[in-house]
Amino acid sequence: MPLKMYKSGESTSPKIKHIIGIAAGKGGVGKSTVTVNLAYALKSMGYKVGVMDTDIYGPSIRKMLPEDRFPEQAGQNIIPALCQGIRMISMAYFRKENEASVVRAPIANGVITQFIKNVDWGDLDYLLIDFPPGTGDIQLTLCQQANLSGAIMVTTPQQVAVMDVRKAMHMFEQVKIPIIGVVENMSYYFHRQTGEELHLFGKGGGKSLADETGVPFLGCIPIDPQLCQSGDTGRSLFAEQEEKSTTVKRFLEISKQVVDHVDLLTENAKSFMKSFELQWKEMPNV
């Protein structure tokens, strides 16, 4: 499908309750895997969910979350794809499968702006935005234009990952976007024969990052070959497993925490607005 460049207008989707960024700064820590599985989890909890893949140069969500219905062009707007009941948009729909996105930064930014302004999501409870790695131009555009309720930070326990995630948290702090919490991915591998948890990438990095920065720790996801496989086949672990695996349970627990923390952030923002209004009314006339 050709992607036409439109003049950016107002958001076509004023009916999205919460927009959440899933970010890390670091590449390969599992942002897209966490995004897709949080989407499945929130959907299984009865919420209306959308996913925006903002990785222009390496979009992977379409593989992980294949479509039942393609996106469509409707006048100036794009109707997102429908993937197992989850609405989704990705650069992967606008180029051939094995074709690289060779575009300069301003074009990539233009595409992101279109994803923000011109996708008609309809009613959504949660729109999850999968951030690309790094803290560059696209990430800043998303922070400034996407009207995020907050961001979920994904890290592995490894110090090298934690270091980059800390930097990305600083970026969100600078643009005044609250951090909903930290998810530690690839926390350990459960060895069935010995019953041991093997900490292949170190231990406790996510929890200590959350404690150090004063944000909630949302939970750990183990290294799970089935999760990896589910990303490759596009088949949801939530649909396939009658008895829920530890991984599925963890995603459900994390989603419940996300729902609670986002509600709290929204309440805090509302009461801040109220107190701000009161202070304003009490200002003497000068």
Candidates 53, 55, 67, 184: give the one binding ligand ATP (CB under 6 A).
Answer: 55
- Exactly one of 33, 77, 90, 135 binds ligand ATP (CB under 6 A); that residue is 33
* Of the candidate residues 221, 254, 258, 262, the single one contacting ligand ATP (CB under 6 A): 221
Could you give the strand order of the β-sheet that contains 86-90, starting from the edge strand earlier in sequence? 81-83, 86-90, 49-53, 124-130, 16-23, 150-155, 179-184, 217-220
Our CB check for ligand ATP shows the closer of 13 and 227 to be 227
- CA dihedral (242, 243, 245, 250) in degrees, to 10, reads 90
Name the residue nearer to Mg ion (CB basis): 90 or 255: 90
Which residue number, 41 or 64, has a Cβ lying nearer to Mg ion? 64
- Which of these ranges, 89-97, 157-165, 194-202, 220-228, lies near ligand ATP under the rule CB under 6 A? 220-228
Q: Which of 11, 12, 32, 139 binds Mg ion (CB under 5 A)?
A: 32
* Interface pattern 160-179 for ligand ATP (x via CB under 6 A): --------------------
**Is residue 60 within the footprint of ligand ATP (CB under 6 A)?**
yes
CB 138 within 8 A of CB 106: no
Among 186, 236, 218, 226, smallest CA distance to 39 is for 236
Q: Which residues contact 280 (CB under 8 A, 6 or more apart)?
A: none
For residue 32, the one-letter residue type is S
Residues touching ligand ATP: how many (CB under 6 A)? Answer: 20
Identify the burial level of 84 via C-beta atoms within 10 angstroms of its C-beta, where 0-12 means exposed, 13-18 middle and 19 or more buried. middle
- Taking the least distance from each CB to Mg ion, the nearer of 26 and 31 is 31
145 sits in which H/E element: helix 137-145
CB of 202 to ligand ATP, least distance (A): 15
DSSP states of 118-140: SB---SEEEEEEEPPSSSSHHHH
Please enumerate in sequence order all residues whose Cβ is within 8 A of that of 254, keeping only pairs 6 or more positions apart, or say none.
38, 41, 183, 218, 219, 221
- Identify what 227 binds: ligand ATP, Mg ion, none; CB under 5 to 8 Å per kind: ligand ATP
- Identified binder of ligand ATP from the candidate list 80, 133, 150, 206, rule CB under 6 A: 133
Structure tokens that stand for 183 in this block = 């998810």
Q: By the criterion CB under 5 A, which residues form the site for Mg ion?
A: 31-32
Q: By the criterion CB under 6 A, which residues form the site for ligand ATP?
A: 24, 27-33, 55, 58, 60, 133, 185-186, 221, 223-224, 227-228, 231
